[in-house]
């Protein structure tokens, strides 16, 4: 059971716990009953055993499970609140982008028109088309995913 290890001459212990997994056949006419239990609390029989071993321990276990459940609910509410805030920020940023796009488009069309009125039709057309074209290209590039990406909620 003990053996020398390294240079420190301290014994090393080895534990070999083998539990046989072979089941004995049941005699004829015997009924086997299996009970399963699942949940955040131990089985009521175990709670009684805990409480008989250490009085008040069942109450402590209940209190612990209640505190864990409350903590989980607080975390879920915090995460949900963060998602809502993120959605609001995204909405505000999208609205701001639309306002800037409208401003740039109107400015480029006005500048192109004024330039064309002063006798520079080609330059005015280029200014107007470049302003509008840039905005259109920007919107189209955001709407169409590139070849290697997928839109959330869709499958490839």
Full DSSP string of 32-43: -------SSS--
Q: What percent of the chain is predicted at pLDDT more than 90?
A: 36
Residue pair 135/101 in contact by the 8 Å Cβ criterion: yes
So what's the pLDDT on residue 80?
93
Residue ranges of domains in the chain = 42-143
What pTM was computed for the model?
0.47
Condensed to tens digits (0 to 9), the pLDDT of residues 53-104 reads 999 999 999 999 999 999 999 999 999 999 999 999 999 988 898 888 888 8
The position carrying tokens 């175990």 is 46
Q: How many CB atoms lie within 10 A of CB 50?
A: 16
């Amino acid at each position: 059971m003990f053996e020398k290890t390294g240079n420190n001459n301290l014994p090393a212990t080895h534990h070999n716990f083998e539990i046989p997994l072979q089941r004995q056949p049941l005699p004829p006419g015997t009924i086997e009953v299996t009970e399963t239990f699942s949940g955040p609390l131990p089985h009521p029989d175990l709670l009684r055993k805990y409480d008989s071993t250490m009085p008040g321990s069942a109450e402590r276990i209940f209190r612990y499970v209640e505190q864990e459940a409350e903590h989980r609910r607080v975390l879920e509410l915090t995460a949900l609140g963060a998602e809502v805030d993120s959605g609001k920020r995204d909405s505000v940023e999208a609205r701001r982008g639309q306002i800037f796009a409208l401003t740039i488009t109107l400015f480029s069309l006005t500048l192109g028109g004024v330039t064309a009125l002063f006798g520079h039709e080609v330059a005015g057309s280029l200014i107007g088309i470049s302003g509008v074209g840039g905005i259109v290209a920007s919107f189209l590039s955001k709407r169409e995913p590139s070849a290697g990406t997928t839109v959330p909620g869709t499958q490839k």
